[in-house]
Amino acid sequence: MRTDKTLAVKMRRQGKSYSEIHGALRIPKATLSDWFGNANWSRDIRKKLTTAADIVSTERIRKLDQIRGEHLKKVYKEARREARKEFVELKYNPLFIAGLMLYWGEGDKRTRGQVRLCNTDPELVRLFVLFLKKVCQIPVEKIKGSVLIYPDLDADECTDYWSAKSGIPRNNFQKCVTIQGRHKKRKLSHGVGNAMVLSTYFKEKVLEWLRLLPRELMGKKYYASI
């Protein structure tokens, strides 16, 4: 038996992987596979190595997820801190109050990373978009639009309508979503308009504002300061 094969067998029986043997003896992995691939004892070692690798990989993923989780906690904390600071300056702004009240009643408060409001009233959606632009200082290119339509409505016509009414540029609109109801036709001539900003940081700020505003409006101090 060639000397390097004797050493390779010894290393393999010690539980070394093909990569480790190749690194030490420079024997091609294809040659190692020819030597050990059909040996039952080598297969057992491969299973043990695979199991160990899976455990290490799982632990690494867990640690990475923990790091991401800790990072997100810091991001959310900073967003809430910033929201509280801005709230002091904005709480008497009528557009700020109007926008938050609209979102409180009509907005998506469950989906993470998305500030989205949908309604059939174009003036309501337009006011919310104005809140995003003027109060929240969201760049117009970051404000997206979409339309829910029924099968009997024209997608392009509805998108043009909601773009004109909401103030969201036509290019910022996503493809229309067709919904099926009990009836194929509806009286909603232009569907349901959606305005949204995709941002986890901004969503956390909006939720913090929603926690602060009701308490502020129901307190006597607020009105004494006006």
51-76 tens-digit pLDDT: 766 565 666 656 665 656 677 788 88
Is residue 51 located within the same domain as residue 117?
no
Backbone angles phi, psi at 148, to 5 degrees: -95, 125
Q: Residue 121 domain-assigned?
A: yes
Is residue 111 located within the same domain as residue 11?
no
pLDDT in the model for residue 186: 54
Give me the sign of the Cα torsion angle 196, 197, 203, 205: negative
Q: Residue 68 domain-assigned?
A: no
Q: Model pTM?
A: 0.67
Residue 126 structure tokens: 């337009």
Residue 195 structure tokens: 């305005």
The Cα–Cα gap between 26 and 220 comes to: 81
Is residue 211 located within the same domain as residue 131?
yes
Domain that holds residue 47: 3-62
Is residue 80 located within the same domain as residue 57?
no
The per-residue pLDDT for range 109-164, each reduced to its tens digit, is 989 889 999 999 999 999 999 999 999 999 999 999 999 998 888 999 999 999 99
Is residue 94 located within the same domain as residue 53?
no
Is residue 26 located within the same domain as residue 108?
no
Is residue 107 located within the same domain as residue 203?
yes
